[in-house]
Amino acid sequence: MLAPFLRALGHRTLETYAAAGILTALPDTAFPVSDALFRRTAEGLTYHPHGPVYFTITRSGELEFGLGSGIPLTDAIIGYVQLAREQDLEDTAPEEGATEWFPPPRLVLDTDTARLYIAAVSRTHQPASRPSFIPVEQYIEEQAQLFVEAFRAAPVK
């Protein structure tokens, strides 16, 4: 059920990057699905992601987990998904003892609707703030758009 959804989402994300010219401008084999800062250097255009990079997209349209992991999201997702009902999302708990600046993503699969959500990370990193759960599709589309907008805003030679 999730694999076809994730594959279709990956292909749409790749199409977004291709339409923006990213695939022709950058030689990379995979790109972050996140906000980024682009710079021109003697070697060409470089970028540095901003914030957490939970997903990358390969040139073949495969969504991967994390930055440079090489692990397809369809294979890695099981270890990161909690089951819950949409009305109970606020009560799902994060992993105990998470110490990373950006801990692994919290993914929640709604058992009633089969929608997949991701817990939004607070940019202020305030532990008392309540999580916001966003549909994964919306999160990936918004993060891909941020990458595209940053690419388009890159300084020209």
Domain ranges within the chain, ordered by starting residue? 2-152
Burial 94-122 (b: 16+ CB within 10 A, else e): eeeeeeeeeeebbbbbbeeeeebbbbebe
Quote the CA–CA distance of 121 and 124 in Å, as a whole number. 9
Nearest to 113 by CA among 23, 34, 1: 1
Decide: residue 139, CB within 10 A, 0-12 exposed, 13-18 middle, 19+ buried: buried
Quote the CA–CA distance of 141 and 119 in Å, as a whole number. 15
In the chain, how long is the greatest CA-to-CA distance? 53
Reading the chain (157 residues) residue by residue, the pLDDT tens digits are: 789 999 999 999 999 999 999 999 999 999 999 999 999 888 889 999 988 889 999 999 999 988 777 889 888 888 888 887 776 766 555 555 444 445 678 889 998 888 999 987 665 556 556 678 899 999 999 999 999 999 999 987 6
Instruction: Give the pTM.
Output: 0.83
pLDDT at 31: 96
pLDDT at 97: 46
**H/E element, 84:** strand 81-84
